[in-house]
Chains A and B, each alone.
Chain A
Amino acid sequence: MATSRDIIINRALQEIEDGMYVNLGIGIPTLIANAIPNDRHVMLQSENGLLGIGPYPLEHEVDADEINAGKETVTAQKGASYFDSAESFAMIRGGHIDLAILGGMEVAENGDLANWMIPGKMVKGMGGAMDLVNGAKRVVIIMEHVNKYGESKVKSSCTLPLTGSRVVHRLITDKAVFDFMDAGMVLIETLAGLTVEDIRAVTEANFTVSPELERMPVGE
Chain B
Amino acid sequence: MQQGKIYDSFTEATADIFDGATLVVGGFGLCGIPEKSIAALQEKGVKELTVVSNNCGVDDFGLGILLHSRQIKKMISSYVGENKTFEQQYLSGEIEVDLVPQGTLAERIRAGGAGIPGFYTPTGVGTPIAEGKEQKQFDGKTYLLEEGIVGDFALVKAWKADKLGNLVFRKTSRNFNPLVATAGKVTIVEVEELVEVGELDPNEIHTPAVYVQRIIVGTDYEKRIERRTVREA
The answer to whether A and B belong to the same complex is: yes
A residues near B (Cβ < 8 Å) are 46-50, 55-59, 62-68, 70-74, 76, 82-86, 88-89, 92-93, 112, 117, 122-131, 134-135, 161-166
Query: Who on chain A is nearest to B114 by CB?
Result: A86
Point out the residue from A66, A127, A128, A134 that lies within 8 Å of B172, measured CB to CB.
Answer: A66
A189 to B123 Cα, complex, angstroms: 30
Other than A88-B106, A134-B123, give 7 A-B pairs with Cβ distance below 8 A: A57-B231, A63-B171, A73-B225, A83-B174, A93-B121, A112-B126, A135-B122
Q: List 29 interface pairs A-B (beta carbons < 8 Å), by A numbering.
A: A47-B102, A48-B175, A49-B174, A55-B231, A56-B230, A59-B230, A64-B173, A65-B159, A65-B170, A67-B226, A71-B29, A72-B226, A84-B175, A84-B178, A84-B206, A86-B107, A89-B106, A93-B123, A112-B126, A117-B128, A122-B87, A125-B79, A125-B99, A127-B78, A129-B101, A130-B104, A130-B124, A134-B122, A161-B128
User: How many contacting A-B pairs (Cβ < 8 A)?
Assistant: 177
Query: Who on chain A is nearest to B122 by CB?
Result: A134
Point out the residue from A71, A122, A135, A166 that lies within 8 Å of B123, measured CB to CB.
Answer: A135
Q: Which of B77-109 contact A (CB under 8 A)?
A: 77-82, 87, 90-91, 99, 101-107, 109
Q: Are B172 and A71 in contact (CB under 8 A)?
A: no
A59 to B231 Cα, complex, angstroms: 7
Q: Which of B181-196 contact A (CB under 8 A)?
A: none
Query: A48-B28, A65-B173, A128-B102 given as contacts; is B127 within 8 A of A163 (CB)?
Result: yes
A74 to B229 Cα, complex, angstroms: 7
Query: Which residues on the A side are within 8 Å of B229 (C-beta)?
Result: 56-57, 72-74
A68 to B228 Cα, complex, angstroms: 11
A129 to B124 Cα, complex, angstroms: 10
Point out the residue from A50, A73, A162, A163 that lies within 8 Å of B228, measured CB to CB.
Answer: A73
Q: Are B231 and A56 in contact (CB under 8 A)?
A: yes
Q: Are B103 and A92 in contact (CB under 8 A)?
A: yes
Q: Are B81 and A58 in contact (CB under 8 A)?
A: no
Q: What size tier do the contact residues of chain B reach?
A: 35 or more
A55 to B179 Cα, complex, angstroms: 28
What 0/1 readout, one digit per residue, does chain B (201-233) give for beta carbons within 8 Å of chain A? 000001000000000000000011111111101
Query: A71-B29, A163-B127 given as contacts; is B173 within 8 A of A124 (CB)?
Result: no
Query: Which residues on the A side are within 8 Å of B226 (C-beta)?
Result: 67, 71-72
Query: Who on chain A is nearest to B107 by CB?
Result: A86
Q: How far is the CB of B81 from chain A (nearest CB, A)?
A: 3
Q: Are B230 and A84 in contact (CB under 8 A)?
A: no
Query: Which residues on the B side are within 8 Å of A48 (C-beta)?
Result: 28-29, 31, 172, 175
Q: How far is the CB of A161 from chain B (nearest CB, A)?
A: 5
Tell me whether B34 is interfacial, beta carbon within 8 Å.
Answer: no
Q: Are B225 and A64 in contact (CB under 8 A)?
A: yes
Query: A57-B230, A163-B127 given as contacts; is B172 within 8 A of A131 (CB)?
Result: no
Which residue of B123, B128, B230 has the most chain A CB atoms within 10 A of its CB atom? B123
A62 to B111 Cα, complex, angstroms: 34
Q: Are B31 and A64 in contact (CB under 8 A)?
A: yes
Query: Which residues on the A side are within 8 Å of B37 (C-beta)?
Result: none
Tell me whether B177 is interfacial, beta carbon within 8 Å.
Answer: yes
Q: How far is the CB of A56 from chain B (nearest CB, A)?
A: 4
Q: Are A67 and B172 in contact (CB under 8 A)?
A: yes
Tell me whether B125 is interfacial, beta carbon within 8 Å.
Answer: yes
Query: A62-B230, A85-B28 given as contacts; is B101 within 8 A of A50 (CB)?
Result: no
